[in-house]
């Protein structure tokens, strides 16, 4: 079964269609192929690449995928393959095609089944990897699955997954709010934060503020029953949350980028704003619990 979403620009549809046979060739098992990333979420801009997802339980090794990509078309350039050949969890084959950057992310279909089941049971996991600034959360997978646009789904696995993630799991909501609200509460009134402000220890303070802001954002996405989409374009994604403190995006931007020389007074005001934001999110959680 093949599906080409009518909402996609013609140039993206034609690019994805042209690469379907290549992506299929990477699989050694039953598969599903989808468009993901910014184009699937309809948040693409001039800097966005084209993300193609291949879901399978077995894929060809890195070197073999690189050979297939290079031989597929003279328009395929700069091929880079990555991932573990011996124990397939996820891998990738990235290249340029017709002037566009293509990222083909290969993901173990059995792992997607396991992740959906874990999230529905309220299990939250974070993998600290270098390609995300705050780590890759298992529930980001549900965001990807919900937003993706199926391109080839011969066995119906993509349709089944999207049906499973259509409603935000109540247990996942409770787990994320509970864990991240507890983490957010650790720093704002902490002695070590106060002493770091007093000595204008900007490196330490910056890490604290980023951590608290991130935890509060996790809480707000869960409170709104919206899957956390990952690190990119969060400023835009926050604007779509119905339940949030007033002026949230501007306040977060000001906290993370104060735009003034470092001083004790500046860091003190920043700490007070962190405390205020925490208390407002706590009130929203209490009202929506």
Q: Where does CATH 1.20.120 sit in the chain?
A: 170-288
| Cα of 59 vs its chain's centroid, Å | 23
pLDDT for residue 19 is more than 60:
yes
pLDDT for residue 7 is more than 80:
no
Q: Where does CATH 3.30.460.10 sit in the chain?
A: 10-164
Give the CATH H-level superfamily of domain 10-164.
Beta Polymerase, domain 2 (3.30.460.10)
Residues 111-135, mean pLDDT to the nearest whole number: 93
Beta bridge partners of 108: 56
Residues 118-126, mean pLDDT to the nearest whole number: 97
Q: What is the pLDDT of residues 49-97, one digit of tens each?
A: 999 999 999 999 999 999 999 999 999 999 999 987 677 888 999 999 9
Q: What is the pLDDT of residues 209-237, one digit of tens each?
A: 999 999 999 999 999 999 999 998 899 99
Cβ pair 158, 148 in contact under 8 A: yes
What class is the 170-288 domain?
A: mainly alpha
Return d(Cα 81, Cα 208) in angstroms, integer.
36
Return d(Cα 145, Cα 233) in angstroms, integer.
18
pLDDT for residue 113 is more than 90:
yes
Cβ pair 120, 37 in contact under 8 A: no
Q: What percent of the chain shows pLDDT beyond 70?
A: 97
CA dihedral 199, 200, 201, 206 (to 10 degrees): 140
- The confidence score (pLDDT) of residue 42 equals 80
Q: Across all residues in the chain, what is the average pLDDT?
A: 93
Q: Considering the entire predicted model, what is its pTM?
A: 0.91
């Amino acid at each position: 079964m093949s599906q080409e979403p009518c909402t996609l620009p013609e140039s993206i549809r034609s690019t994805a269609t042209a690469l379907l046979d290549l992506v299929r060739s990477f699989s050694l098992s039953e598969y599903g192929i989808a468009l993901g990333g910014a184009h699937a979420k309809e948040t693409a801009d001039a800097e966005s690449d084209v993300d193609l997802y291949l879901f399978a339980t077995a894929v060809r090794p890195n070197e073999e995928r690189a050979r297939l990509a290079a031989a597929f078309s003279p328009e395929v350039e700069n091929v880079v393959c990555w991932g573990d050949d011996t124990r397939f969890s996820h891998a990738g084959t990235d290249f340029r095609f017709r002037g566009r950057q293509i990222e083909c992310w290969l993901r173990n279909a059995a792992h997607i089944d396991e992740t959906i089941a874990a999230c529905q049971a309220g299990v939250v996991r974070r993998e600290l990897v270098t390609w995300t600034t705050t780590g890759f959360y298992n529930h980001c997978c549900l965001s990807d699955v919900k937003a993706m646009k199926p391109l080839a789904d011969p066995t119906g696995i993509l349709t089944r997954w999207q049906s499973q993630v259509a409603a935000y799991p109540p247990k996942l909501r409770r787990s994320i709010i509970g864990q991240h609200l507890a983490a957010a509460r650790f720093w704002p009134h902490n002695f070590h934060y106060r002493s770091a402000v007093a000595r204008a220890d900007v490196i330490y303070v910056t890490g604290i503020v980023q951590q608290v802001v991130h935890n509060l954002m996790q809480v707000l996405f869960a409170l709104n029953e919206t899957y956390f989409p990952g690190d990119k374009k969060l400023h835009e994604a926050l604007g779509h949350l119905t339940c949030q403190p007033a002026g949230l995006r501007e306040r977060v931007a000001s906290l993370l980028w104060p735009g003034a020389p470092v001083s004790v007074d500046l860091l003190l005001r920043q700490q007070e704003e962190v405390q205020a934001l925490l208390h407002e999110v706590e009130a929203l959680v209490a009202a929506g619990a």
